[in-house]
A and B are shown apart, each in its own frame.
Chain A
Amino acid sequence: MDTVAALDVAAVRADFPILDQRVDGKPLVYLDNAASSQKPRQVIEAISAYYMTDHANVHRGVHELARRATEAYEGARERIARWANAESADEIVWTRGASEALNLAAFTLGQSRVGAGDEIVVSDMEHHSNLVPWQLLAARNGAVLRHVELTSDGRLDLDSLASLLGPRTRVVALPHVSNALGTINPVARIGRMVREKSSAAYVLDGAQGAPHLPLDMAELGCDLYAFSAHKMCGPTGIGALWGRSALLAELPPYQGGGEMIAHVYRDHSTWTTPPHKFEAGTPNIAGAVGMQAAAEYLDDLGMAAVHRHESSLVGRALALLSEVDGLRILGPTAPEDRAGVIPFVVDDAPAQDIATILDAEGIAVRAGHHCAQLVLDRFGLPATVRASFYLYNTPDEVDRLAEGVRLAVSMLRQ
């Protein structure tokens, strides 16, 4: 029985004012969603309303506006916790985005769990945000980085992972969904492997997972999960790290300042409890309000419906693009194994040039390494073109992408 309601894409598009414009006289086709999504009116208006009526600094204030701002900020935390099916709002730490969340994870796990000779397992699928913080930690603490290899169809090689796990493994940090390949990783299964063979903290980069898949923190089986608002219809500059309560209690602070202390003395201080222990300084209150509005927007549509809509676009794109002579799509071949990200290369047609010609057709895609150089190294490519879909994209836009790619290829080969 199919209980997922279909998305009314025309109604969704009407909520996104930015989509209604022309580029070089042609209707904009925005297919750069893996880099950043657009924002619905509901999010823009929530941020605006907060600044128009409720803004003050949060916590400790006795006046009306401080109360309202605090309620908005902490209410947003509760709403995000509910959206992600977390147990409690105390498991949600606000950050500037997924990158800061992963840096927080690497820094604090580095203080509490990773010593010289210990091992950190990452993969060749990482966005640099889930690689470089661990490299920095390894260099700081004398730890060793181990890399899970990829299969030729762009999946994590689970045999390779199994061979890396052991008593020295302190951290396993992997992507929920690959930004460069589109692969949806079997993260729950990996979580069971991690727990059977090690006592490592299991960290997921959810930057590409949270915007596109229904989330349930218990089902994912990880200990820390990082995500950004701006890829899920929310504003830039805000995101969150979800953490298991026991682990968050164990981890030391990330930055020092106001808000994160219990008592301050001349030569030392004591810390407040999570999540505020990790939130030094005046936070991005309006960002939290905007992220809440984004989560509400997505919940109203239903994440399952969002995912199903993207899957149908992916199926159409895979079929149409694979007809282009000399075009090769990276990543898993089955649409159900991938999120709305289609990376491709074309013989004799360099990626940036395809992207430039598509731009002249009003089609926004990205070309380059997508902050995942290890992925391109693995496949021996200098760059790929990446088209990435979201809830407001239409089958017609997929057709225009395919037409644009054909045009670009014929221009570049003539």
Chain B
Amino acid sequence: MTGAETTREVRQAVIGDHFRRPRNRGPLVRASATGQADNPACGDVVQVWARVQDGKVAEATFDGRGCLLSQAAASMVTVAVQGKTVDTVARLRREFAQGLQPNGPGLPPELGDLRALEGVGRFPSRIRCAVLAFDAFAEALESGED
């Protein structure tokens, strides 16, 4: 097995794990921000909740339905944004979206398991599935600020 194949298999395993054993799934009681994003073309829907305390994300959860990528990514995002400031979440969302583009700059370590989605750039029509939950979080947090 080549190194590239190993990397691909590891990524697929991480994605599959988040899909089958989603982290932080279900509505969050006492959420200070909530948001929703959908992808009508494929039928993906993701709803997110966050509790922000002292300017940082103390808790984050999601619920939704749709493809493996959209639901696994949502699970990953709830982990990645824990403890991050609202500004940091906005920056990470930008870096995530840019890093997924074909020939993009790659994904920074701060994104954690979301880095398993790096290969999605090969399928431009699937990028939207991967960024859906992050978009919902960033927008929820931005609108929750005022």
Give chain A's interface residues, CB within 8 Å of chain B: 350-353, 356, 359, 367-369, 373, 376, 381-383, 411-412, 414
**A368 and B123 contact, Cβ closer than 8 Å, known pairs A350-B66, A352-B129:** no
B65 within 8 A of A: yes
Residue B126 is within 8 A (CB to CB) of chain A in the complex: yes
- Are A383 and B42 neighbours in the complex by a CB distance under 8 Å? yes
Contacting residues, chain B, for A350 (C-beta < 8 A): 66-68
Q: CB distance A353 to B16 under 8 Å?
A: no
The tally of CB-CB contacts under 8 A between chains A and B is 45
Asked whether A376 lies within 8 Å of B68 as measured between CB atoms, the reply is: no
B interface residues, tally (CB under 8 Å): 16
CB distance from B126 to the nearest CB of A (A): 6
Judged by a CB distance under 8 angstroms, whether B69 is at the interface is: yes
Known: A350-B68, A353-B69. A376 touches B123 (CB 8 A): no
Contact of B41 among A359, A369, A414 (CB under 8 A): A369
Whether A412 and B68, one on each chain, are in contact in the complex, defined by CB atoms closer than 8 angstroms, is: yes
CB contacts (< 8 Å) of B59 on chain A: these are: none
Contacts of A369 in B (CB 8 A): 40-43
Return chain A residues, CB-CB under 8 Å to B44: 352, 382
User: Contacts of B43 on A, CB cut-off 8 Å?
Assistant: 351, 368-369, 376, 381-383
Contact A414 B129 (CB under 8 A): no
Decide if B67 touches A351 in the complex (CB within 8 Å).
yes
Cβ 8 A contact of B16, one of A351, A359, A383, A414 = A414
Chain A hits for B45, CB < 8 A: 382
- 19 A-B residue pairings within 8 Å (CB atoms): A350-B67, A350-B68, A351-B67, A352-B44, A352-B126, A353-B67, A356-B126, A359-B123, A368-B41, A368-B43, A369-B40, A369-B41, A369-B42, A376-B43, A381-B43, A382-B43, A382-B66, A411-B12, A414-B16
Smallest beta-carbon distance B79→chain A, Å: 21
B132 to chain A, nearest CB (A): 12
The interface bits of chain B over 25-59 (1 if a CB of A lies within 8 angstroms of the residue's CB, else 0) are: 00000000000000011111100000000000000
Kindly list the 7 A-B residue pairs having the minimum CB-CB distance in the complex, ordered from nearest: A382-B43, A350-B67, A383-B43, A352-B67, A353-B68, A352-B42, A368-B42
